Amino acid sequence: MDKAYLGLGTNIGEREKNLRAAVAHIKKTTDVEVTEVSSIYETEPWGYEEQNQFLNLCLKIKTDLKPQELLEKCQQIEKRMGRKREEKWGPRIIDIDILIYDNLEVNTSKLVIPHPRIQERAFVLVPLQELDSNLMIKGKSIAQWLEQVSTSGIINYSSY
């Protein structure tokens, strides 16, 4: 099985319930095993700032799905939970991103791995560091990337 990391976020409705429901859906997905779940973090919006605070977490998974198949499963879960893709970086009931998939680099019109802005997003780096402090991203450690971004506004909301 391949190792991958997913990032989940929500800022609409009952945010913690949304995250827990998404994790439950992922756990039920054939050929996916959730091996670790980070704490839940409350974070400021990124990109479009005139919206509610987000709750975010990261998952470490093992999977037999190919990256494109995993993306399709994640998008099916988003759709099942009521996700509407109306505004880039806008409010969302759930967002599930493939952050890293083993050591693969993928660059298609629908999927880029590692996630193209992973190193800019403290709301992803902080929970990823909790899961694997030795993880290398684009040739640098998570600690090195965290030195380059602000972590103010990222609050440990609760353990999973």
Residues taking part in catalysis: 83, 92, 95, 97
- For residue 41, the one-letter residue type is Y
Residue 97: closest CA among 82, 80, 112, 81: 112
On whether the CB atoms of residues 59 and 38 are closer than 8 A, the answer is yes
Say what angle helices 67-80 and 15-27 make with each other, to 10 degrees: 140
Q: How far apart are CA 129 and CA 158, in angstroms?
A: 16
